[in-house]
Structure 1
């Protein structure tokens, strides 16, 4: 008998905490637990295995930004954590509504513990029960993997091997390649009429009730290279923990089956290995060794692409089709909610290819809500890690309020690292103190005016300078009448020493407006009210 969340909330060690479910209550009754863990660390998700009830005292959440709190919820949900319980009190009087909304959207049961209880006592009591249960699940999982090995030894198809796992766990089982192609699938005995149910129910909103399908993902590596993904769609009363354990125990059998029947293409394997090497900062000789095997010339002109999305397999397919269509050759690798790619550009059309990639990603972003960034052109595989680093930095700069550009988290966005060249240079080369001093020297009076009046003169100046001092264009982008735009400019000129056009001050002012919103103390001259007004009033620009 599986131990469920509601059972634990009614346990004598936890009832003194006066628990109440704040989000995803509809699926709490069927949420099964594998373990109970406690931590105040916000970056805990990668260290969890899925199926845990995570207890936290809320101290770290109390001092975290709202963006980090929401990210914490999504990271736990994507890791397969069963539920999150937050203790409220002096440090965190209540659970922020943004976290409640995120947990509801992610399908993560969120519990408020309104009184203090010793977490150690709770974990000792409940985990002892879970250990007893897991012993039986481990035995069943080992029997299942043995039966799968027998089927494989007798030459059965991949579908038949997966059918053993499906019958044992009561789950629909699908094995896909890293490119998203279905290699094999199976339904548990007696469920043939539901052949399409798993995927459709899995796409249903969180909290769909008794028919809610929970999916478990297990990566399958062949010779150390991720080559396939096993997904178990667990329905209704089926044991989620058994499915998780049995799926993990079947990895070696499935890897052997892939080697015997359909070994991954060498280029696909080399491409995944190449991107992982670029991402991890592997030595140059290793990159030069892997690139030709992946179909990329050592001295090719290439760009790195980073796509962040918790979306469907179809998004990856759309992105890969775009990169293959535009570039000379591309390789990609998906890691959790991040897709990394390297694209070799045609030597005679380097800039045109790169522009087409940015434009194509913008179309996908608008349709799918993804966030992506295209790095600068790298001359040869040796500098590919630099292009990847700059693409990621561009995403971070935009997320921290980059100057007027589309922000991840607000809507789909495809960002061009070249459009952030000034910010990237300043981030790498200028310390926070130097940036702060420079901005204050150039824009001090305007910053003070904005802080006192809650006005938007600094942002107005930046948009005007970005437009090439084109007053009409800047007015359109800011949704202002031309007369209002002229009035703002006159006020700005009076504060910063006159009209900068035709003087050597123009470049310095432009640089200052670009640096003013980089992360760090540069923004100390802007009060929070003015910054919030800027974010709420100005249109998002791609």
Structure 2
């Protein structure tokens, strides 16, 4: 409107009102035809010379909750009518005069085009958000992937927290999230002060809080920190995101909360070596684990399947096995040891202990491991507990966790004599496990055992022979053959491999190759011997 010399003559304090529509009207009683949010354009032809009509007109605009009144000077009024100005100021209605003749039709056409375009864009964005998030949910995407998409649409960090203000998941710029998590207690109080009973609350600085509900009960909230868009787009985004998060929760495991899923996701990434170091601080803080002046100890607990000591009904055993994370949670609570617990794979449970610097981390781990063995033994079960090295900084946790996984895997094949297995306890078997995916090791296996790999009976004889310490009588008993028959099989092995079974260096190479072969052939983490 700058071309036509606009001047705000009253109600300047209310110029932040949104304009929903433009309406050209000369009727004195036009207020009864308005629904609110309009900017009314008039030349005031029917108001000239009647101050009472001018005041009544402005008061009707106030009752209609218009955004503003725009008065074109030149036809009815040469200057701003004083009565209208005073009434507009008193009523809080922005009154704008145009000092040069303006084509109202051009104004309405331009503004309406922009409004319609904006609404179409908003509807299009709403549909795109809903479609994208629904597709993720129906494909079985986890909470983290869904929240990553929400943060991408929002253009700012996103946090999901429960009603106790515990953070369940975060997404968005990691530097910004680190700042938020570092002072989360204060930030969560500010969020609580901001929240009203509305489904979506839009606060200052682009903070948007959406209530999260499932089955009629509110259980948490989504907070967007610094949404750069308009209040309307932020409210729409909050609504769509809350809908998607509610669907994700309903489609997920009903017996387990997002708290467990958040911890399990973090532990699974650590155990797989997939967790990015720069994200660890944020994710560990979000999971509620203490991080200041702590020693972190990764632990992996595995139960062997179908081993001696597995007694009782198999369905009962399966139900019992599902409770291993809960059992470890109770033990940590009893021992007052901070830690995260979660399942990794079908037969493993990971634990990340957080022990204060002034306490003995090894002693805390030992207590937890001993209690784990005792509780499982009482149920006719057993397990191995593998641990990585203690870490005083989070950056080392990922490497230590990978070590703990390999130690637990190796300990299944040759259980350690102590309650907790470390890398030093699994010795050569542990080293081979750590290297089992290396192509050079596969080539070594082929060179050492090639002809036997297609002859399972002879391979089993060689394994038993070496495992028994070259005790031929014991090896014959295991395979239910006579000693002469065993001798013939050993001779066949020597001939096929072109080795001397009395040569210690060659025996050592065969033994390492067998360990490596079993490590690669094991189903899951457990080797056959």
- Bin the TM-score by the shorter chain: 0.3 to 0.5
Q: TM-score, normalised by structure 2?
A: 0.36
